[in-house]
Amino acid sequence: MKVFVLGAGATGGALAQLLRRRGHEVWCGDRDAQRGRAFVGPDVPCGAACARNRRSLIRAARGCDLLVNTVPAAFNAVTIHAALELGVSYLDLASHLEPDPFRAEQLRFHEQFERRGKLALINAGAAPGLTNLLVARAADALDQVVQVQIRLFEETESSQPISTWSPDVAYDAAISRPRVYRQGSFRLVRRFGEAEWFRFPPPIGNVRVVLVAQDEVATLPHFIPMRDLDVKAGGSDIERLRRWYRQGTLRPSDRRSEQRFPATILPAEVAGRMRQRTLRDAGFAVAVSVTGRRGTGRCEQRCACVFASLRQLRRRGLLTTPIAYAAAECAAAFIKHWPGEVAGVLPPEALPGIVRQHIISDLRRSGFRFSREVST
């Protein structure tokens, strides 16, 4: 497959390298092509492309079969219009929820992709993405879904703030009000509220988690009937954001602070920071708890995935970070098992069941550590 990746940052660069090693013809576009080449490496071409300019995207992506969008979700609409004009398939990693905070904006393009016989797979990274697949797998084992809880763990052992993935996306998530689905209705709730303890698989254990803004809420209730859904996250990265918020230094009206949200760390800088001990390690994990009814009884399905830590990635010779690597591996698995017979705009949970199973199996073979518990 010929794949154009828009955005040669931590995630886009790792994804481009994965796809090239798996036999795809890949090239990238970025507003800063010179910086982008530091992420994609010498074997993947990287040219200039402006995510704000549809004509620029069309010129850069011409000839591809699949347009992959890894830039901030604010540019989704421009990129989708470029994919439609090119007549190609499309994949992205997140939704821009300002037009409608409770429904993914990409879904409004469903009929246009369907008429062209092309698939636009949206929110297809790790969180959202893999989290949606885990919820769908748990829901398949139940007769009725009542409550869905998605829990994330983000930890960076660093003496100073470091952006291990997109600082713009992290900032947008930090200043956005969390969305929940409760008693069958959508609502906005207070940032970093409703603290509780959640048990992640070893070696993480119990972590205090709080409400955060995540895109799963904008698709899952539209495709899987349920009563309640919320997303909470914990770990040092979340605690730092929560502290800034409580101090009043994390407000939507403020411009993004380069001290708090610096530019994404370059691959070559990762080793140097670790040698200097200013960056010691980082970790990432996702978990879902889906409660409902099976037969005449109540049943809870817990699924989790712990990704390779920064030190483990370094030992494997990978100069990337856990969140960027997890999102790239997940996107690559979605592309590997691309369902050519499906058209329209779909989130991961709406893919055919056999495709979802193949993606999870492929990620397990790639070294993702999954766990599953069932209690009745």
The pLDDT value recorded for residue 107 is 97
| pLDDT: which is higher, 159 or 56 | 56
**Could you tell me which residue, 161 or 286, shows the higher pLDDT?**
286
Chain centroid offset of residue 133 CA: 12
For residue 73, give the DSSP letter.
Answer: G
Quote the pLDDT of residue 257.
66
Q: Report if pTM > 0.85.
A: yes
Judge residue 41's burial from the number of C-beta atoms within 10 Å of its C-beta, 0-12 exposed, 13-18 middle, 19 or more buried. Answer: middle
- Count how many residues are written for the chain: 376
* Confidence band, pLDDT 50/70/90 cuts, at residue 167: confident
The per-residue pLDDT for range 69-126, each reduced to its tens digit, is 999 999 999 999 999 999 999 999 999 988 899 999 999 999 999 999 999 999 999 9
Q: Which residue, 120, 350, 96, 353, is CA-closest to 223?
A: 350
Can you tell me the distance from the alpha carbon of 256 to that of 181, in angstroms, rounded to the nearest whole number? 29
Q: What is the pLDDT of residues 214-262, one digit of tens each?
A: 999 999 999 999 999 999 999 999 999 999 888 887 776 666 666 678 7
State the Cα–Cα distance between residues 364 and 305, nearest whole angstrom: 9
Residue 218 near residue 103, CB atoms below 8 Å: yes
In the CATH hierarchy, which fold is given to the domain comprising 130-322+369-375? Answer: Dihydrodipicolinate Reductase; domain 2 (3.30.360)
pLDDT > 90 in the chain, percent: 81
Residues β-bridged to residue 180: 187
Q: What is the pLDDT of residue 164?
A: 73
Q: Average pLDDT over the chain, rounded to whole?
A: 93
Higher pLDDT, 276 or 12: 12
One DSSP character per residue, 241-288 reads: HHHHHHTT---TTSPPPTTTSPPPPPHHHHHHHHHHTSEEEEEEEEEE
Domain segments of the chain as ranges: 2-92, 130-322+369-375
The residues with which 228 forms a beta bridge, in sequence order, are 147
* DSSP letters spanning 131-196: HHHHHHHHHHT-SEEEEEEEEEEEEEEESS---SS-HHHHHHHHHSPPEEEETTEEEE--TT-S-E
d(C-alpha 178, C-alpha 193), whole Å: 9
pLDDT at 151 (0 to 100): 98
Name residues whose C-beta falls within 8 Å of residue 98's C-beta, 6 or more positions apart in sequence: none
Amino acid at 300: E
Query: What pLDDT is attached to residue 354?
Result: 96
Mean pLDDT value of segment 257-284: 83
Model pLDDT, residue 159 = 79
Determine contact, residues 211/232, Cβ cutoff 8 Å.
yes
At 112 the three-state DSSP class reads: helix
Higher pLDDT, 250 or 290: 290
pLDDT of amino acid 253: 63
CATH architecture of the domain formed by 2-92: 3-Layer(aba) Sandwich (3.40)
Question: What percent of the chain has a predicted confidence (pLDDT) above 70?
Answer: 98
